[in-house]
Chain A
Amino acid sequence: GQSLEQPSEVTAVEGAIVQINCTYQTSGFYGLSWYQQHDGGAPTFLSYNALDGLEETGRFSSFLSRSDSYGYLLLQELQMKDSASYFCAVGPLDSGNTGKLIFGQGTTLQVKP
């Protein structure tokens, strides 16, 4: 099976950098994805790591280390609008190439002025 652990809450100030960690136990997966969800809204895709290393997309970067069963999302130059829930997610190998996602429990990020 798969389980992904994230901190439940993170607080940071506007303009700062914040890192949201995701540790996992899984029998195998295609890659690690990150999604952002504002209150009551749709989850929005942020980043995907198929291989170990760093992926950068604007202010957001994501990292994966399969040997350490660990990944993180890095948000730079924080803005108030970044206040949201952030979920890591994996596509398990035993689901085949279907895009099925298993989500972590989510991290609520609060950005303060």
Chain B
Amino acid sequence: DAGVTQSPTHLIKTRGQQVTLRCSPKSGHDTVSWYQQALGQEPQFIFQYYEEEERQRGNFPDRFSGHQFPNYSSELNVNALLLGDSALYLCASSLPSESPNQPQHFGDGTRLSIL
């Protein structure tokens, strides 16, 4: 049973470029959340997708956008990249449930470096 998978594992971009990161949730999970983790910091919530719609959003600018597909996989897009966007981008998935705070299952992340 595959866990959460993310691609690519590493990526190098330059300022002003655009990037797309991909995530496949754990089998049976329908909710996908994205987090940004700067070096030495805690993960910061970007947004969450459920039923192909953005359900929650953190304090991130509109340059950060996403999408969820019918198979529950998700993409994170970042436009007009800034040096400060350099971070580990984590995808997390969880079970469909009425119980709050189902454990979040994280992928290994995509390490994005902006030059």
Contact = CB atoms under 8 A, between A and B. Distances in A.
Interface of A: 30-31, 33, 35, 40-45, 48, 50, 87, 91, 95-106
A48 B100 CA distance: 11
Interface of B: 4, 31, 33, 41-45, 48, 50, 55-56, 58, 88, 90, 92, 94, 98-109, 111
Contacts, number: 69
28 contacts: A30-B101, A31-B101, A33-B101, A33-B103, A40-B88, A40-B111, A42-B109, A43-B90, A43-B106, A44-B106, A45-B105, A48-B101, A50-B101, A95-B56, A98-B48, A98-B55, A98-B56, A99-B94, A99-B104, A100-B33, A100-B48, A101-B43, A101-B45, A101-B101, A101-B104, A102-B45, A103-B43, A103-B44
A48 to B, nearest CB: 6
A36 to B, nearest CB: 11
Nearest to B40: A106
B66 to A, nearest CB: 14
